[in-house]
Amino acid sequence: FMKIMYVTSECAPFIKTGGLGDVAGSLPQALAAKGHDVRVFCPLYSAIDQSMREKFYYIKNAYVRLGWRNQYCGIFRYEADGVTYYFIDNEYYFARGQIYGEYDDAERFAYYSKAVLEVLPDLDWKPDVINCNDWQTALVPVYYNLMFASRPFYENIKTVFTIHNIQYQGRYGREILEYVLGIDDAHFRSGFMAMDGDVNLMKAAIVASTAITTVSPTYANEIQTEYYGYRLDSVLRMNSYKLHGILNGIDTEVYDPWRDKGLTKFFSARQMAGKKNCKAALQQMSGLRENPDAPIIACVSRLVRHKGFDLVTAAIHEIMGMDV
């Protein structure tokens, strides 16, 4: 059995903006149920509900060097469903109005990526595998290779980088490399940290990590093409030998219609009657005709191009001509 360190910028039920939060909330539990020692790392955002924060146990604090800065790092611990959660506390970086979209996101997530590696000896725990997710944690395999791999405690740790969304890559100007990230400009000149004249954190993680995974076999193929690759397709093709598409699952307990309190009536594969009530309630709430025979077409998604909404807008008039 493996010791797995799962590094994420969001995690349900503590804090979530999308699919990454869902996966971080359910995949570690599924791995733990198979007998692995799984520990999830997440920033301690001020947006995490106070009722949850009260259950976190303070372990200790340390200091993390980032470029010329020496920043405070508090470590909190929480256990649930066989998984150990560690929260990285720094109010300057994480007590903000939002999780993403701040002017200094590069610095915030560089600090976090450095901190999760720095604190491991304090936790007296050495993982076999570090699984990082999307651009916010892309610097973990980069920092590991450049600054940690040769230290005795850190030897022989494997890194996996998971791409949930290739459109957001962590692209910044070259000037942040030394000043903000604390990485020598030689790594830009060599091409390792560079893409199209910018620093590109996701590109660096693809090159630096032992393996790359993504959310389905189809997506793994798509992102190696020009249309879906958002300029990283050539890098992924060069690294295709370590790219694996693993289909995302869902938490069948959280999303069980027989127990879901968000529904007007419960239903299951064996007892489908309640589904009609749910459909009628949805039609009422949405101001639609209450017609049990009209199919409802729905999509839960962010309204962005790579989700395929250009296909929806092209077909919407034809679709609306049908009895749906």
Q: What is the pLDDT of residue 258?
A: 95
pLDDT of res. 135: 98
**pLDDT over threshold 80, residue 305:** no
Cα separation, 243 vs 212, whole angstroms = 5
pLDDT band at 230 (very low <50, low <70, confident <90, very high): very high
The SS3 call for residue 189 is helix
pLDDT at 54 over 80: yes
Q: What is the mean pLDDT of residues 150-166?
A: 96
pLDDT value, residue 108: 97
Enter the pTM of the model.
0.90
Question: Could you tell me which residue, 267 or 253, shows the higher pLDDT?
Answer: 267
Say what the pLDDT of residue 97 is.
84
Look at 176 and 97; give whichever has higher pLDDT.
176
Residues 180-193: tens digit of each pLDDT? 999 999 999 999 99
Q: Which residues pair with 9 in a beta bridge?
A: none
Q: Read off the pLDDT of each residue in 112-120 and give the average, rounded to a whole number.
A: 97
Token digits of residue 44: 């301690």
- The confidence score (pLDDT) of residue 27 equals 94
- What the block records as the tokens of 266 is 């419960």
Q: How far apart are CA 106 and CA 142, in angstroms?
A: 14
Identify the CA nearest to 162 among candidates 3, 304, 4.
4
Flag whether pLDDT at 46 surpasses 80: yes
Q: What is the mean pLDDT of residues 224-229?
A: 93
Q: What are phi and psi of 92, to 5 degrees?
A: -60, -40
Q: 284-291 contacts: CB < 8 A, separation 24 or more? A: 291/323
* Predicted local confidence at residue 307, as pLDDT: 79
Residue 293 confidence class, pLDDT cut points 50, 70, 90:
very high
* pLDDT higher than threshold 90 for residue 45: yes
Mean pLDDT over residues 51-65, rounded?
Answer: 95
Q: What's 74-113 look like in SS3?
A: EEEEEEECCEEEEEEECHHHHCCCCCCCCCCHHHHHHHHH
Lowest mean pLDDT among 68-82, 129-143, 260-274, 294-308: 294-308
Higher pLDDT, 186 or 301: 186
What integer is the mean pLDDT of 255-267? 93
At residue 200, the pLDDT reads 97
Query: What was the pLDDT predicted at 77?
Result: 97
pLDDT in tens, 240-251: 999 999 998 888
Alpha-carbon torsion (198, 199, 203, 207), positive or negative: positive
